[in-house]
A and B are shown apart, each in its own frame.
Chain A
């Protein structure tokens, strides 16, 4: 009898595991034929990116989808990376391990742990086609690659291996592959185009992983390539300890029972971030727990009391115990310049603005918001803007409407920034794409499907602030563009049309060609600045040219100033007209008197930049007569830049004298107060002055 019971219990467990997959398809990402394919690609690519990041390798990722049976919707998916590979003995564990979430204690920003990882793909493949997943893995220390077919024994809930072997792995160009992983599997799935597609997923992935080189071969054999735009790997993220504000009862309970600490004070001080030894004592006092008590001996009531004092519900001296914020260096933002590059490579456009807000904390969890906006030609003007949502560098492709990030975008009145929006609410229309990235150690989703971020007032505020800032940049750009169009028209008018009218009328009347200067001065009556900023393929520099035209009847004198990305490491070359540095990122030229009807041209090149880094130069002037095509220098802003500069220099100086210990910094980091923030938010032209 006992044997039967045991067998039954065992059976029950087996059923539970295969049923688990079936029942939870929707949040494992395998609920439709289209989505299953996206999920499979996602699991594989996320693993590749994580592995490369961990091993500090610049990722080269290839994804290939082939249709095998159109009627039955059978496709083959092959992914390949240049990551460290998996040692032969571990392959089985990585691909056959079901339901082993291992990151309960480590709190850090990670790509996901969505679903059950690559094992889910192996299982889905087997369930829908009966086939095995073919794995080829090469690690650097071995000369050949390990190959194996992985399946799952759903009875025993473990991986099965077959056709094990070793082979030489040659890359497409015939060279030997140093290291990497290749996965090939068949599954019932459907390849589709559109907003929710493998293509879109990879495109979005490439935007937020500018260090990755991604190639995708679609079922039609078309090759899509998103090249690497930076050699810089994302910063290695540090794990941090949990913060008292973000902990749940169950976790606290477990931490206590598992603790080997002898006293509660050291338990708190060692296992939590933001808790000094003084704060530890205060927390315990508020919870009425003896400092010397053993964590293991904590009673449920006491743990509950401790949690209450964590959350400030139990006070000490009429006030909640003050805790430091957790460190934010555990976050890995993409950073403005790289977002810019990422966006520029996938969308052809003239104008990109990006912003990385300072890291901050909500309910004990560090988080950071980054946004980007790209505007211009390549996109439809009468369609809603494209919203690109990301959480910890993972694209969010479903449930756009229910997502906090979308709601934040919808809550902005975009009409004031030059986009169409019915009633000033909702997703705006226009030739633009908006990117939002939330990096956090604890991303809150609306559901297990992990496709939409849950409401959070603080995060919403951060996103909104960033949107408004970008909106202002967009408005400035559009105003400038409009102005430039007008200037261009005036130029065409006086340079081409008026001379043609004079010539033609003289010819018809058989009279001499009249002098035009009077008419032109009359028509223009203005001083005009025209500037161009172009990438020069040959010299690999950005050429800038600024020409000032005096179309008035009097002589004029000006000082011209131009913005340039000095703080982004650019160098100014071939500046034959001299001038001097006015402030960081602002160069000035004092011009000689410009006689009526004459012009003056300044030209220089910017080195140390890449294509797309610098596409627009702002021109300013000092002088009494208005200059069309330039802005009057705002001296107050200039002073502000100089002040920031001075402050930054001081900081530099201090750092030179006493380089701080890393540990100290991470413990004391969260002092990111509003006024000390060296952000790009107050600068003159929207380029950062972060020293």
Chain B
């Protein structure tokens, strides 16, 4: 297993390269610049050797000739200085904390949390380091997991704790920490046939209550909407290290399609680390566009925003396959979307007794 992490020295050197680019431009009597890959769907391509989508060759140069980008460069310098300080002091901070710390950065102050998150990502992309190398962690915690899998996690006191995600946890399951790299988590053993990732908490709880994980011998992971990096990373690790299939059970709408793409192919915003986060073997289980008709599910009309999102997906290279094009076009034609929980139309057990078994049978998993 390759590791995503860099050593503190590697990280600092990579950050210094960014600073040197600016400094050298000033020495040459030019406007300081920062060069970074274009981060849109027009600049992601399939990497055959990795099996995921990565940034292409398009580069954009952010130069200090306008006030906005000059401020971005200055903020980047403050962030670099802040990260170096944390590396040296053995500290870490959340992105939100960094946002508040920037209050004292004068001209380098962030005007929104979004801005600081984006800049952290910019630096990751340019230096090819991970957020974890920068000692920055996201605010949101990772997913919840339930099932007969055993792992060990290094706790605050630096001791390894052995945890079985079925026997050693309560109803809310095992909470996945923000860092799931090897120094923090080791996967020990399991007795499951596959892993099912679920979009909504309501459906996750429904499956647990109905004993689905035991009946079908699987691990359930709650994605909490757009999954955090650590959630995607642990799915990837379990899938690769244990060679387990991953099936994804989401709402049937354009946004769920995007969630699936970020799990299976890599997200556009994090395409620089797709090979660590994406699980190319993951399968989309449902709700599909044809489920809406086949199961006659209660549905809502697509909003104009939904339609725009679907149309954008048609030209997204990650949805270029025939199956996805069919699904997207079908949804556009139907003009409808449906939630996971609309299956409850046929009773609380319908999802575990009928819908999922049928779907899993097609995949040879039930």
Contacts and interface: CB of A to CB of B under 8 A. Distances in A.
Given A518-B28, A523-B65, A497 B23 contact: no
A493 B80 contact: no
Given A501-B64, A508-B16, A511-B23, A519 B32 contact: yes
B203 interface: no
Contacts of B30: 518-519, 522
A519 B64 CA distance: 10
Contact of A516 (B26, B65, B84): B26
A149 B329 CA distance: 85
A505 interface: yes
A504 interface: yes
Contacts of B65: 493, 523
Contact of B64 (A498, A507, A514): A498
A519 B67 contact: no
Contacts of B20: 505, 509
A152 B108 CA distance: 76
Contact of A493 (B23, B27, B70): B70
Interface string A186-201: 0000000000000000
Given A497-B71, A516-B26, A519-B26, A504 B64 contact: no
A506 interface: yes
A509 B16 contact: yes
B81 A501 contact: no
Contacts of B70: 493, 497-498, 501
Nearest to A497: B70
B4 interface: no
A651 interface: no
A509 B30 CA distance: 18
Contacts of B67: 489-490, 492-493, 497
Contacts of A490: 67
A80 to B, nearest CB: 53
A505 B22 CA distance: 7
Interface residues of B, number: 29
A504 to B, nearest CB: 4
A523 B31 contact: yes
B108 A498 contact: no
A511 B22 CA distance: 13
A522 B27 CA distance: 12
B29 interface: yes
A554 to B, nearest CB: 15
A504 B77 contact: yes
B74 A514 contact: no
B66 interface: yes
Given A508-B19, A509-B20, A500 B74 contact: yes
A507 B19 CA distance: 10
A501 B107 CA distance: 10
Interface string A7-34: 0000000000000000000000000000
Interface string A511-539: 10010111101110000000000000000
A516 B28 CA distance: 10
A505 B29 contact: no
B19 A505 contact: yes
Contacts of A518: 26, 28-30
A496 B70 CA distance: 10
A507 B85 CA distance: 13
Contacts of A508: 16, 19, 77, 80-81, 84
A665 interface: no
B193 interface: no
Contacts of B29: 517-519, 521-522
A94 interface: no
B109 to A, nearest CB: 12
A518 B64 CA distance: 13
A498 to B, nearest CB: 6
A509 B22 CA distance: 11
A502 interface: yes
Contacts of A506: 23
B78 A501 contact: no
Contacts of A517: 29
A506 B16 CA distance: 11
Nearest to B68: A489
B23 A505 contact: yes
Given A501-B26, A506-B23, A496 B64 contact: no
A184 B163 CA distance: 87
A501 B77 contact: yes
A522 B23 contact: no
Given A497-B70, A498-B32, A506-B23, A523 B77 contact: no
A493 B74 CA distance: 11
Interface string B8-39: 00000000100110110111111110000000
A489 B70 CA distance: 11
A500 B31 contact: no
Interface string A78-106: 00000000000000000000000000000
Nearest to A486: B67
B145 to A, nearest CB: 41
Interface string B168-208: 00000000000000000000000000000000000000000
B73 interface: yes
Q: Which 3 A-B pairs have the closest CB atoms?
A: A518-B29, A504-B77, A489-B67
9 contacts: A493-B64, A493-B67, A497-B67, A501-B74, A504-B108, A519-B29, A522-B29, A522-B30, A523-B65
Interface of B: 16, 19-20, 22-23, 25-32, 64-67, 70-71, 73-74, 77-78, 80-81, 84, 106-108
Interface of A: 489-490, 492-493, 496-498, 500-502, 504-509, 511, 514, 516-519, 521-523
Given A493-B67, A497-B64, A519-B31, 11 more contacts: A492-B67, A493-B65, A497-B74, A498-B32, A498-B64, A504-B74, A506-B23, A509-B23, A521-B29, A522-B29, A523-B31
